Amino acid sequence: MSQTQENFDLSEEVSRHILGAGSDSGLVMIRGIPDLAAHARGNRLMLEGAPEKIELVKRFLELLSRRIEKAGAMEQLEVRRLFEQFIDDDVCVNLNGEPFSELITSFNGRLVRAMTHNQQQYVEAIESNTVIVARGPAGTGKTYLATALAIKALKEKRVSRVILSRPVVEAGESLGYLPGDIKEKVDPHFRPLYDCLQEFIGMGKFEQFVRQGIIEITPLAYMRGRTFNEAFVVLDEAQNTTLPQMRMILTRLGYGSKLVITGDHTQIDLPRPGDSSLLKLRDIIGSVESVSFIDLCGKDVIRHEVVRRIIDAFDTYQMREKEKK
């Protein structure tokens, strides 16, 4: 195999992202490419190895430079994600380095956008379909992006209300014995949804919309017998629904409504995990028009890097256990 050498003088901005200290630095990532050696001196990156591998790094550096120029400094986790997806030929930005379009601006002024190719497919599926089913591990943005798009649709007056629901398995869907009104009964189970909504619209507006019925957060058991027109409905933790429950929520949709179903098939809390509708739903409605299925994975985890590594470790363990059986 032919070997070649090439040096790159990096700008200050790119150098900070590539040559910084720590186990997550860009230099460490580049050194992980087979048949390639990488060294740094000052702002100079020196590569030696297979010409096609050097060319790959060169194109990544150009992409990173354009990305920083257009969107500003990046978190190191974003750099790692961009690098890994670029190396996998699964680039999460277009060829001129532009990040995905922002969806909304959070209450604190932060731009909310898809961060991976799979997340962008998820966003596009929500925009163009009536029923969307997203499966994936914790931290992949299933609920976060769905809630962001629900608020966006509400602000753009494409829907008149947002409805968020979960099956309350821990309470056995029997909440009558708990003290307080319905909101007080289910508060602990819906805290993740509250956090999302408050991030997007602020505490004051959130409480106002709840009082006005513009935003409704309700257990799945309370959806029976209702029809939702001009509503953006998000069913979270769908791995804990049975087929009858799933059929019930799917048949609640009225005119001008959209339903996003999210779940993680590795975190089923039902007494009999095989009863989870999330395991069977694709076979039942996968061919129905305007229904879309999206699978997110460890590469789409947006939380701390260690979360992604933990997910990978659990997946590896489960595969070993299956092989033993």
In degrees, rounded to 5, the angle at the alpha carbon of residue 280 between the alpha carbons of residues 244 and 270 is 60
Token pair belonging to 242: 């049975």
Which secondary-structure segment (H or E) carries 48? strand 44-49
pLDDT over 60 at 316, yes or no:
yes
Q: Do residues 81 and 116 lie in contact, with contact meaning Cβ atoms separated by under 8 Å?
A: yes
| Percent of the chain residues past pLDDT 90, beyond the cut | 35
Work out the pLDDT band at 308, boundaries 50, 70, 90.
Answer: low
pLDDT number for residue 10: 86
Name the β-bridge partners of 7.
46
Alpha-carbon torsion angle 187, 190, 192, 197, nearest 10: -90
Domains along the sequence of the chain with CATH: 4-87 (3.30.1370.10), 104-324 (3.40.50.300)
Mean pLDDT of 63-85: 75
Which phi-psi region, left, alpha or beta, contains residue 43 (left: φ > 0; alpha: ψ -120 to 50)? alpha
What whole-number distance in Å separates Cα of residue 289 and Cα of residue 128? Answer: 11
Q: Do residues 136 and 264 lie in contact, with contact meaning Cβ atoms separated by under 8 Å?
A: yes
Mean pLDDT of 49-72: 81
pLDDT single digits (tens) 238-273: 999 999 999 999 999 999 999 999 999 888 989 899
Which secondary-structure segment (H or E) carries 204? helix 182-212
Q: Do residues 164 and 231 lie in contact, with contact meaning Cβ atoms separated by under 8 Å?
A: no
pLDDT number for residue 21: 62
Angle between helices 117-128 and 142-155 (to 10 degrees): 40
pLDDT number for residue 310: 81
Mean pLDDT of 159-165: 95
| CA proximity to 136, closest of 300, 315, 318 | 300
Q: What is the DSSP string of 229-246?
A: SSEEEEE--GGG--HHHH
Least confident of 18-22, 139-143, 195-199, 304-308: 304-308
Query: Three-class SS of residue 40?
Result: strand
pLDDT single digits (tens) 187-203: 677 888 888 888 899 98
- Helices and strands (DSSP H and E) totals, the chain: 10, 11
